[in-house]
Structure 1
Amino acid sequence: MTSANPATGGTLSPARQKYAIGVLLLMYVFAYMDRNVLALMVDPIKESLQISDVQFSLVHGVAFGAFYAVFGLPMGYIVDRFSKRWVLFWGISIWSVATLACGLARSFPALAFFRFGVGAGEATLVPAAYSTISRILPKDRTAMGIAVFSMGSGIGSAVAIGIGGYLIAKLTKLGGIALPFIGHLEPWQAVFVIIGAPGLFVALLAFTLPETGKSAAAEAETLAPSEPVPLMPFLAENRAYLFFTIGGLALITILAYAFAAWMPALLLRQYGKDVAWVGYVMSAVTLSGLIGFGLSGYFADRLFRAGYKDGHVIPILYCVPVIIVLTIVGFHLTGDIWVAVGCYAIIHILATIGNSVGAHVQLATPPSLRGRLAAITVAAQHLCGLALGPLLVALVTDHWFHDPARVGDSMAIVGTIIGLLAILFYILARAHARAAITRMEEGYYHTPPIEAVA
């Protein structure tokens, strides 16, 4: 059975829809593998390249995050204007080659440069994926489609830890590998080559996806293709809606990055666990986030289907107060390691429920702007999350408590303050979210064709 879908200019069977989501999910898995495998090789890279902790952090976070966020904005424009198949193909190819090239780096500047390439290439994926999903699925299933795609982040992170750890151990025993024309590669270099190379084959899967970029029928859903909605007027008219909706999502992302960055330190410093044990626990918790992604899509779509135009905002609004309580209990009040780990796991699940807000922004945006709005959403998340999340906890620990062992208390303070701000943002966002969906449903952005006016 097929269902009519104006986004693809015809019919797209449920099997074809599932296949497209599955391919995008696989691409996201590889993106997170290439992105996160670096974290497992801190000491070997530092020793090989003779760099400091600060230099490594620049390569790991800033070099990737800054280019990922900044390049996402022009990539959103490209997604809205050109074939998403080709955008995905070149994006995946670029980040895969850049990951592979990281394994050939023999200096700090070279490694930083290639990490720039990883960030720039990956900047294409989310705008293209969000825009594609919002076009090939019915409106009341968009949140679940984006949720399934987003599961790739958790799977990719866990796979990077598992496969990366195995490869490092295996290649260390072998003393590295030798490649023709390249020569000997140290174990950490070989890991980059092995992880990056398969992405070149994954890139080819882009051409098996349905083409959604140039269909006149796709644009006819909300506006005439000859009269695309200008970006700046749209942003100006929706500034309050975007500020509170995307701002609330950015605040949740700050919490996610802050807790992910400092939870290992809490387990190491307060409870004295070894690094290997902490790695296993963090990997398991990362996978638990898949539950949150699934719940985000289920509840958001169900509420939207029931007539709640702010249904994508409601789930996370009810989750944040629970997050605040768990933050205080797990990081400040308890002295039991399993209570702390359990609270963090539940927080991780609840925080990922905010993923449905990204689907809402897509549904409230004309098709011709969805790539750019996806890019703006991702840029806000990563710039705020990477820049402020880990930093806020560190500032409280260093300048308030003056004691590294109080990192749990710092996490509780940051979690409470940022959580309360997120609640305020989401409360204010609800009315704007309802109005934004209403404008789309009533054809507010529709411009009649010139011949019709004549």
Structure 2
Amino acid sequence: MANAQAESPGADGSAVQPDRIQYKTFYSTGGRLTIAALIITAALCTMDRMVLSMVVDPLRADLGLTETQIGVLQGFSFSLLFAVCGIPLGLMADRLARNKLLAFAVLAWSGGTLACGLANSFESLFVFRMLVGAGEAALWPVAISLIGDLAPKAYRGMLIGGLIVGQLFGGSFSLIVGGQVLESVTAGSLTHLPVIGSFEGWRFLFILYGSFGTLAILLLLTGKEPPREIVSEAASKNPFSGLRVFYDFFRANWKSVGSLYLLTMVVAVVQYSGFAWNVPLMLRRFDIGPQQVGLIMGIMSFAAGAAGSLAGGFAAKKTGKSPVNRCNVIIFAYCICISYGLIAFNPALYTTVFLIAIPSVLLAMAGVMSLVILQDIVPSNMRGVATSVNHLFASLIGASIGPVLVAMLTQHVFKTDDMVGVSLGLVVGPAMALAAFFAFTIKKEIVKKYDGMEASVADMAKPVKG
């Protein structure tokens, strides 16, 4: 009787195990440490990525950079290796020890962040930002692969939401602490520090944030690796053999999976533009200092994004196993996010904060749903590389074009730094309208894919006649 409860035959004749047996790592102390490590790593990832947006003006003044060069550092230099390294790191995530792989990646991007604090030219900053991007490319492929094997389906959306909350906390912490440090430098409190000596405020921030990676590395090496759902003996010997497997899968499902990738690409233009220019917009448009901006943006970003991420996890659970219903949530969110473009009309301070906050909630919610859909339609043994390709689309177009396009409009069209809000609105508003339209057009492909999956399962469950 006990064995009958432990395993029961599924529709395809295979054994189906209860969650506590199949996902026993999830309920263990080592599994919980792995979850905690992923959340903290996600927080550090965003901290190191966003610190540059907090120091745009002092860095420009110290190194004599242009607005377009800052846009390149915010976008292209980071996204270049972020996109290129994502594929091999995703393949490794599907084959190698994921905790150790991510710990090595944290070491790389933390070192790059610390090195940015020692840079003395645009060229050196460009190289170090590429190193940050190369390391951070590992986070989501490893995280999605781990969560897919670690947690039962009912909890995956919540865990993905937890990672996004971790990223939001890191972004908020980066803004709040960055504002405090820059304000202290202005007041003369950090003109000389023990051991490290004198540093400009922007350099001190890079060095401080880069040193935090040690905590994540220790936790990742302490956590427990869950067993994989699908393991191929041949593939396990060569991480890059999975590329052919994914290519065959993508060729058979290019409309549904490819549509998700293209949608991610358009939305990334909005997200990375906001990451890069929301803080400079607040500093230039309103008569407030970096401490106040860091506090306002930090609290708002965390509260709005956390609410959206948790709502996304809750909605993923409520939509059950239906990627079609999840797609409906995404369409709703993107339609509302078109209002972000109203930031171009120079609204008052709190109206500006509101126009940033609403998309922060809805894009976080839709982001959770998109990643859950990816898990729904991609097999376990290729989730890492599938997530990497998703980030490839987002990085090569979204992270590269979005921040630079805003900067070029400001510098070459409007020719004044104070018009950055108009430039931002002209980029994010139309991009969100395109994303909403594109979501409507691809829903039918998601429906076809899901209906096909349901039909396949139903056929397998039918008794054989004769």
Q: What TM bracket, shorter-length normalisation?
A: 0.7 to 0.9
Structure 2-normalised TM-score?
A: 0.80
Paired residues of 2:267 and 2:432 also in contact (CA < 8 A) = no
Q: What SS does structure 1 have at the residue aligned with 2:120?
A: coil
Alpha-carbon contact 2:286-2:349 (below 8 Å) kept: no
Cross-structure match for 1:234 = 249
Corresponding residue of 1:421: 437
How far apart are 1:291 and its partner, in Å?
Answer: 0.5
Aligned residues of 1:176 and 1:190 also touching (Cα < 8 A): no
Selected match of 1:300 from 308, 316, 319: 316
Residue 10 of structure 2 is matched in structure 1 by: none
Of all paired residues, the percent bearing the same amino acid is: 24
Listed as ranges, the matches of 1:261-276 within 5 Å are 261=276, 263=278, 272-276=286-290
Q: CA-to-partner distance for each residue in 1:139-171, whole Å, 9 max, x for gaps? A: 222111111112122111111111222233445
Whichever residue aligns with residue 222 of structure 2, its letter is: T
* Residue of structure 1 aligned with 2:297, choices 260, 263, 282: 282
**Partner of residue 353, structure 1:** 365
Contact 1:320 1:422 in 2 (8 A): no
Match of 1:321 in 2: 335
Q: Map Cα deviations across residues 351-409 of structure 1 (whole Å, 9 max, x no partner).
A: 11112211221232222211111111122223332233345666778999999475476
Question: Displacement of 1:262 after TM fit?
Answer: 5.1
TM-score under structure 1 length normalisation = 0.82
Q: Which amino acid is 1:247 matched to?
A: L
SS at match of 2:118: coil
Moved more, 293-302 or 239-248: 239-248
Structure 1 residue 268, shift from structure 2 partner: 6.4
Secondary structure of residue in 1 paired with 2:207: helix
1:210-259, Cα deviation, whole Å (9 max, x unpaired): 213xx4x6216xxx655777121111111101121222233233233344
Residues 14, 251 of structure 1: CA spacing in aligned structure 2 closer, same or farther, 3 A cutoff? farther
Question: 1:400-419 counterparts in 2 under 5 A?
Answer: 404=419, 406-407=422-423, 410=426, 413-415=429-431, 417-419=433-435
The number of equivalent residue pairs is 428
Instruction: Give the unaligned 5+ runs of structure 1.
Output: 445-454
2:212 maps to amino acid: P
- Structure 1 SS opposite 2:181: helix
What is the alpha-carbon distance in structure 1 between the residues aligned to residue 38 and residue 354 of structure 2?
A: 31
Change (3 A) 1:124 1:409: closer
Residue 144 of structure 1 is aligned with which of 150, 158, 162?
158
Give the secondary structure class of the aligned counterpart of 2:326. coil
Greater alpha carbon shift after TM alignment, 81-90 vs 39-48: 39-48
**Cα deviation code 1:5-38 (max 9, x no counterpart):** 54x6x55417655443222010111111112112
Q: What is the alpha-carbon distance in structure 1 between the residues aligned to residue 198 and residue 343 of structure 2? A: 46
Query: Are the counterparts in 2 of residues 331 and 412 from structure 1 also a CA contact under 8 Å?
Result: no
Aligned partners of 1:89, 1:143: CA distance in 2, in Å?
A: 24
CA contact (8 A) 2:269 2:428 kept: no
Q: Would you say the 8 A contact 1:135–1:218 is kept in 2?
A: yes
C-alpha change, 1:233 and 1:309, in structure 2 (3 Å) is same
Corresponding position: 1:175 with 2:191: yes
Query: Is the alpha carbon distance of 1:11 and 1:281 closer, same or farther for their aligned partners in structure 2, counting shifts above 3 Å?
Result: closer
Q: CA deviation at 1:187?
A: 3.5
CA contact 2:158–2:310 (8 Å) conserved in 1: yes
What is the DSSP-based 3-state SS (H/G/I as helix, E as strand, rest coil) of the residue aligned with 2:55?
helix
Moved more, 291-300 or 191-200: 191-200
Equivalent position amino acid for 1:242 in 2: V
2:63 equivalent to 1:49: yes
Distance in 2 between the 1:63 and 1:412 partners?
A: 21
SS of aligned partner of 1:379: helix
Q: SS where residue 313 of structure 1 aligns?
A: helix
Counterpart code for 2:372? A
For residue 103 of structure 1, what is the aligned residue in structure 2? Answer: 117
Assess if the C-alpha contact under 8 Å between 2:273 and 2:424 holds in 1: no
Quickly say closer, same or farther: Cα 1:345–1:309, change in 2 above 3 A: closer
Structure 1 residue corresponding to 2:230, chosen from 206, 215, 219: 219
Task: Quote the Cα distance in structure 2 between the aligned partners of 1:282 and 1:80.
Answer: 37
Task: Please state how far the C-alpha of 1:337 moved relative to its aligned partner.
Answer: 4.7
Partner of 2:261 in structure 1?
246
Alignment of 1:385-404 (within 5 A): 385-390=398-403, 404=419
Shift of 1:55: 2.9
Q: 1:167 to 1:414 in 2, by over 3 A?
A: same
Matched, 1:364 2:380: no
Q: CA RMSD in A?
A: 3.4
